[in-house]
């Protein structure tokens, strides 16, 4: 079975500053990795995913994440945040080739301060 650890429950950042949201996972097999975003009173939306190939993946709104197999990490970064990035961010993992749903971390609340 796999597990996901998001080390920070809350990250306050000033607008236009860079941010990193940390995610570590554990699994005995190869995995797929995901970041989902949840805006207030909404469902989760896929932000980006790593399936295979390049270890650096990007979203359309400026976020990126890098898969690091040796450190079992998939940290999410953005060089300059905006007020509209305020949301809950969830890291998730699934086993490669499996279809047993995603295992989610507990989420990190990104708070953008003006």
Binding site for other proteins (CB under 8 A): 32, 34, 36, 41-46, 49, 51, 90, 92, 94, 99-107
Distant-in-sequence, close-in-space partners of 19: CB < 8 Å, separation ≥ 6: 11, 13, 77, 78, 81, 85, 110
Q: Provide, rounded to whole angstroms, the least separation between the CB of residue 17 and other proteins.
A: 26
Nearer to other proteins among residue 16 and residue 96 (C-beta) = 96
Choice between 30 and 84, CB closer to other proteins: 30
Task: Output 41 or 70, the one with its CB closest to other proteins.
Answer: 41
Buried b (16+ CB within 10 A) or exposed e, 23-35: bbbebeeebbbbb
């Amino acid at each position: 079975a796999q597990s996901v650890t998001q080390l920070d429950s809350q990250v306050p950042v000033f607008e236009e500053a860079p941010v990193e949201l940390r995610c570590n996972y554990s699994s005995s097999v190869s995995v797929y990795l995901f970041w989902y975003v949840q805006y207030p009173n909404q469902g989760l939306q896929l932000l980006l995913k790593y399936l295979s190939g390049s270890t650096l993946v990007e979203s359309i709104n400026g976020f990126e994440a890098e898969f690091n197999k040796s450190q079992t990490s998939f940290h999410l970064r953005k060089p300059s945040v905006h007020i509209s990035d305020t949301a809950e961010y969830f890291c998730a993992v699934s086993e490669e080739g499996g279809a047993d749903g995603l295992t989610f971390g507990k989420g990190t609340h990104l708070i953008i301060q003006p």
